[in-house]
A and B are shown apart, each in its own frame.
Chain A
Amino acid sequence: KAGVTQTPRYLIKTRGQQVTLSCSPISGHRSVSWYQQTPGQGLQFLFEYFSETQRNKGNFPGRFSGRQFSNSRSEMNVSTLELGDSALYLCASSLLGSILGDNEQFFGPGTRLTVL
């Protein structure tokens, strides 16, 4: 079974632009969560989608948004990019959206976003 895939793997943007990142979960998984990883702030939760609905949201400004499609693939969008948005963006999928028993979160390789 293929793992979680994220595209693109690397991205360079300039301040003020917007960006869309994509995440394809493991086949059959219905929950996708997004995390931002930076050297200064570490790993921080952005949001979680389950069956096309956002169920949980972290403490990020409204410039960060996401969505999930009927095939469980998810996208996250960042508008009006700032230098501080430079980070590794990780997505994780789980079967039923709750880490109980064997429903662990499987992480993708991440998208490295650099904002110049």
Chain B
Amino acid sequence: AQTVTQSQPEMSVQEAETVTLSCTYDTSESNYYLFWYKQPPSRQMILVIRQEAYKQQNATENRFSVNFQKAAKSFSLKISDSQLGDTAMYFCAFLLTGANNLFFGTGTRLTVIP
């Protein structure tokens, strides 16, 4: 079975600063994908960034980047130059290759302070 753990229920960061959200996962499989989703208050969940497990290079999307450590089963999200619009719940998610059911962590509530 796959499990995803987010150990930081809540975090806050000053506007324009950098923050890192942690995620660890457990699986015996070698082919999978990892995702970070953002769920703003009362708004739809959107994909922030994805990482294919077979790629060694860490994914980057503008201000968002990941630190993927496959051996350690760690997948952290770094948000640079934090903006007020980054305030949201962030979910780490795992997907086995070929499957379509995401396994989610419990989420980290991030608040960006002006």
Contacts and interface: CB of A to CB of B under 8 A. Distances in A.
Interface string A14-38: 0000000000000000010101000
A74 interface: no
A99 B95 contact: yes
B102 A45 contact: yes
Interface residues of A, number: 26
Interface residues of B, number: 21
Contacts, number: 53
A58 B102 CA distance: 10
B104 A97 contact: no
A101 B34 CA distance: 13
A109 B98 CA distance: 26
Contact of B45 (A45, A100, A107): A107
B105 to A, nearest CB: 7
Nearest to A96: B100
A98 B32 CA distance: 12
A45 B101 contact: yes
Nearest to A57: B101
A43 B104 contact: yes
B107 A42 contact: yes
A47 to B, nearest CB: 8
Interface in B37-53: 37, 43-47, 50
A104 B104 contact: no
B61 to A, nearest CB: 12
A55 B105 contact: no
Contacts of B45: 90, 107
B43 A109 contact: yes
Given A99-B95, A104-B50, 4 more contacts: A31-B100, A42-B105, A104-B47, A109-B44
Interface of B: 33, 37, 43-47, 50, 91, 95, 97-107
